[in-house]
Chains A and B, each alone.
Chain A
Amino acid sequence: MARSVVSEIKRDHIHRLIADGRRVDGRAWDQYREIMVQTNVVETAEGSARVKIGNTEVIVGLKMTVGEPFPDTPNRGVLSTNAELIPMASPSFESGPPDENSIELARVVDRGIRESQMIDLERLCVEPGKKVWINFLDIYVLDFDGNLFDACNLGAVAAIKSATVPAKANGLGEDFPMPVTCTPVAVTSVQIENSILVDPTLDEEKVAAARLTVTTDDNGDLRAMQKGLSGALTLEQVRTAIDTSRRLGAEIRKLIG
């Protein structure tokens, strides 16, 4: 995200540590930062979560209304994912309509949820072809210190899992919990100096050559991937990133299980 300038002294410092097998904050290469998840933080949303990964913080809310399905999926609910990189979160974020960074972010999060079929959209059909539940998943970044993909995925998944479908308020019988089938977890690694580091901080992201986000499901199968930044990865590095994602994904899944 926001490839703003990084001072040469910092770049050298990060590179030198990595050559020495170390990281700025003392973590191992396959070690995640501390994660905090708090759900149902906003009463006005049907589901919500506030997530911290180290100093990165996001808040996610799910709003649900009844509306028309898409013509090609008449018996399925609709999911619409949006990410806002608000200027509160970083000196490099500006207000205005979503830019390419926030669109990529929202689409990668959306893909993980959609492709894993986390939400059972067929159970969100009220009347085929006429009435289905429309899900607005809105992600706001509050504090940016790297690895937004994972933070936003985690927040989105936690918000969905905590959601209650507001059937009563819409005259459609009793409220019921969001129909959820699995817990997709995204884990992002970056390549710096030919090493693969998981969960990059902002400084690490700024000096990284390439980035790979891997979203896995409950079985450890792959559901979505996104390679980013302008560098390239070797096949070996891709394998390392996937292994790390499957292993850490299982750990993280327990947190929001």
Chain B
Amino acid sequence: MGGNSDMKLIDENGIRIDGRKVDELRPIRIEAGVLKSADGSAYVEIGKNKVLAAVYGPRECHPRHMQNPAKAIVQCKYNMISFSVSDRKRPGPDRRSVEISKLISEAMEYVVFTENFPRTSIDVYIEVLQANAGTRCAGLTAASVALADAGIPMKDVVPAVAVGKVNDQVVLDLNKEEDNFGQADLPIAIIPRTGEVLLMQMDGHMTQAEFDRGLEMGVRACSEIYRLQKDALRRRYAVVSGEGEEETKGLVHAMTEEA
């Protein structure tokens, strides 16, 4: 949060620099089952964010001393690839990614029925291919689709989104400029089935009223993302059962054409 409110990020008509209204999400694309080696995987694009998630497990827990005799542990690793940001990031974990990994692990551990798989580890790898604010939310959104794709029993699929404050207005799904020069950032993840909050962080400055409005906006957006997550899973299994084959072929085709 630069807190630099001189920078004009919303115009007189309430339109943001990328053309969105204050309560509008960036375009979202979600695909399940995109990798072969992983037990489950997902690809998520939210605006200019591109995120891949892969799940391995339940499998033997390494290191051994982390094993829990009563349940599985969920180990998420969030990582940004070196060329996902404007200045090259040195490969490997930094303090920021360690913190995000911990939060996402704790969040996912709550929704997975870990007691079904004692002594095992469920490993989730999140790789940010291209970053443009909101990568932890995109990562969590992808991770829960990948877990579902791996066939791991869960209480629910988890959507996540960030809300924030820009030019004294509460806005949904901050882009990079809004994240850098806005006044507050509030990433949240919810369990749509119960309405419980699974992840919440905040930095910046918001009044109680602004927070309430932001939260309400975020929860509404989460139900939209939730719909897209379930859609992606349905499409994935339509492919397995032979219904959605056309669509997959179209995608492969598109990929070759762009080359």
Interface of A toward B, CB cutoff 8 Å: 36-39, 41-45, 48, 55, 57, 59, 61-63, 65, 82, 84, 86-91, 95, 97, 136, 138, 140, 142-145, 255-256
List residues 49-68 of chain B with CB under 8 A from any CB of chain A: 50, 52, 54, 56, 59
A42/B84 contact (C-beta < 8 A), A90-B37, A144-B37 known: yes
Indicate if the CB atoms of A88 and B54 lie closer than 8 Å: yes
Cα(A87)–Cα(B131), bound, Å? 20
Q: How many A-B residue pairs have CB under 8 A?
A: 93
For B77, what are the chain A residues with a Cβ–Cβ distance below 8 Å?
Answer: 87, 95
Identify A138's interface contact among B56, B81, B259, CB under 8 A: B81
B141 on the A face (CB < 8 A): no
A44 in contact with B83 given A82-B91, A97-B92 (CB within 8 Å): yes
Asked if residues A138 and B82 are in contact (CB atoms below 8 Å), the reply is yes
A97: chain B residues at CB < 8 Å are: 92
Closest A residue to B85 using CB positions: A44
- Chain A residue numbers with a CB within 8 Å of B82 are 61, 63, 82, 136, 138
Residues of A within 8 Å of B35, CB to CB, are: 57, 88-89, 142-143
What separation, in Å, do the CA atoms of A62 and B81 have in the docked complex? 11
A88 touching B52 by the CB < 8 A rule? yes
Return chain B residues, CB-CB under 8 Å to A136: 82-83, 88
Structural contact, B123 and A87, CB atoms closer than 8 A = yes
CB pair B131 A86 closer than 8 Å: no
Contact pattern, B 89-107, Cβ under 8 Å of A = 1, otherwise 0: 0011100000000000000
Quick check: A89 and B259 within 8 Å, CB to CB?
A: no
Cα of A158 to Cα of B256 in the assembled complex, Å: 13
A142 and B52 within 8 A (CB) = yes
Q: How far is the CB of A33 from chain B (nearest CB, A)?
A: 12
Q: Measured between alpha carbons, how far is A63 from B81 in the docked complex, in Å?
A: 12
Instruction: Give B82's nearest chain A residue, CB to CB.
Output: A138
**Across-interface contacts of A88 in B (CB, < 8 A):** 35, 38, 52, 54, 125, 127
Measured between beta carbons, the chain B residues less than 8 angstroms from A38 are: 255-256, 258-259
Partner of B83 from A37, A63, A255 at Cβ < 8 Å: A63
Other contacts beyond A36-B255, A136-B82, A138-B81: 11, CB < 8 A: A37-B259, A38-B255, A38-B256, A38-B259, A39-B258, A42-B83, A55-B36, A84-B81, A95-B77, A138-B91, A143-B35
User: Residue B130 at the A interface, CB < 8 A?
Assistant: yes
The 8 A-B pairs at the shortest CB distance, nearest first, are namely A61-B83, A45-B83, A88-B125, A63-B88, A55-B36, A88-B54, A138-B82, A37-B259
